[in-house]
Amino acid sequence: MTALLVAEAVTRRFTRRPSLGDRIAAAFGARHDGRAVQAVTDVSLAISRGETLGLVGESGCGKSTLGRMLAGILPPSSGRVLFDGAAPMQSGHKVTTRIQTVFQDPFASLNPRLRIGDSIAEGPVAHGLVSRAGRGALVADWLMRVGLDPAFAQRFPHQFSGGQRQRVAIARALAMQPEVLICDEPVASLDVSIQAQILNLFLDLRRDLGLTCLFISHDLAVVRHVADRVAIMYLGRIVESGEAARVYAAPLHPYTRALLDSSPRLGRDQAVSLRPVAGELPSPLAPPSGCAFHPRCPLATDLCRAERPALTARDSGRLIACHFA
Ligand code: SF4
pLDDT in tens, 7-22: 999 999 998 777 777 7
Compare 231 and 222 and report the one with higher pLDDT: 231
Assess whether the C-beta atom of 254 lies below 6 angstroms from ligand 1: yes
Residue 91 pLDDT greater than 60, yes or no:
no
Residue 108 pLDDT greater than 90, yes or no:
no
> Given the CA of residue 292, which atom of ligand 1 is nearest to it?
4
pLDDT tens-digit profile of 171-187? 999 999 999 999 999 88
> Which of left, alpha, beta for 7 (phi over 0: left; psi -120 to 50: alpha)?
beta
Does residue 315 sit in helix, strand or coil?
helix
Residue 191's DSSP bridge partners are none
Q: Which amino acid is at 204?
A: D
Assess whether the C-beta atom of 227 lies below 6 angstroms from ligand 1: no
Assess whether the C-beta atom of 294 lies below 6 angstroms from ligand 1: yes
Closest residue to atom 7 of ligand 1, CA basis: 294
Assess whether the C-beta atom of 56 lies below 6 angstroms from ligand 1: no
Residue 31 pLDDT greater than 90, yes or no:
no
pTM, entire model: 0.89
Q: Are 232 and 255 in contact (CB under 8 A)?
A: yes
With the most atoms of ligand 1 within 8 angstroms of its CB, the residue from 232, 235, 240, 297 to mutate is 297
Assess whether the C-beta atom of 309 lies below 6 angstroms from ligand 1: yes
Stretch 269-285: mean pLDDT? 73
Task: Give CA–CA dist 91/75, Å, rounded.
Answer: 12
> Given the CA of residue 299, which atom of ligand 1 is nearest to it?
8
Residue 313 is predicted with a pLDDT of: 94
Stretch 111-123: mean pLDDT? 95
With the most atoms of ligand 1 within 8 angstroms of its CB, the residue from 294, 308, 312, 320 to mutate is 294
Residue 274 pLDDT greater than 60, yes or no:
yes
Task: Give CA–CA dist 259/262, Å, rounded.
Answer: 5
Does residue 237 sit in helix, strand or coil?
strand
Compare 31 and 193 and report the one with higher pLDDT: 193
Q: pLDDT class for 189, splitting at 50, 70, 90?
A: confident
Task: Give CA–CA dist 233/152, Å, rounded.
Answer: 39
Does residue 21 sit in helix, strand or coil?
helix
> Given the CA of residue 300, which atom of ligand 1 is nearest to it?
7
Count, in order, helices (H) and strands (E) of the chain. 14, 11
Q: Which residues contact 51 (CB under 8 A, 6 or more apart)?
A: 1, 212, 213, 228, 229
Q: Which residues contact 5 (CB under 8 A, 6 or more apart)?
A: 46, 47, 70, 81, 82, 83, 99, 180, 212, 214
Assess whether the C-beta atom of 322 lies below 6 angstroms from ligand 1: yes
Average pLDDT in the chain? 89
pLDDT tens-digit profile of 118-153? 999 999 999 999 998 999 999 999 999 999 999 999
> Given the CA of residue 305, which atom of ligand 1 is nearest to it?
7
Assess whether the C-beta atom of 311 lies below 6 angstroms from ligand 1: no
Alpha-carbon distances, residue 321 vs 13, 269, 271 (angstroms): 22, 30, 31
Residue 24 is predicted with a pLDDT of: 76
Task: Give CA–CA dist 298/318, Å, rounded.
Answer: 22
Task: Give CA–CA dist 298/295, Å, rounded.
Answer: 9
> Given the CA of residue 294, which atom of ligand 1 is nearest to it?
7
Sheet holding 78-83, edge to edge: 36-48, 3-15, 78-83
> Given the CA of residue 291, which atom of ligand 1 is nearest to it?
4
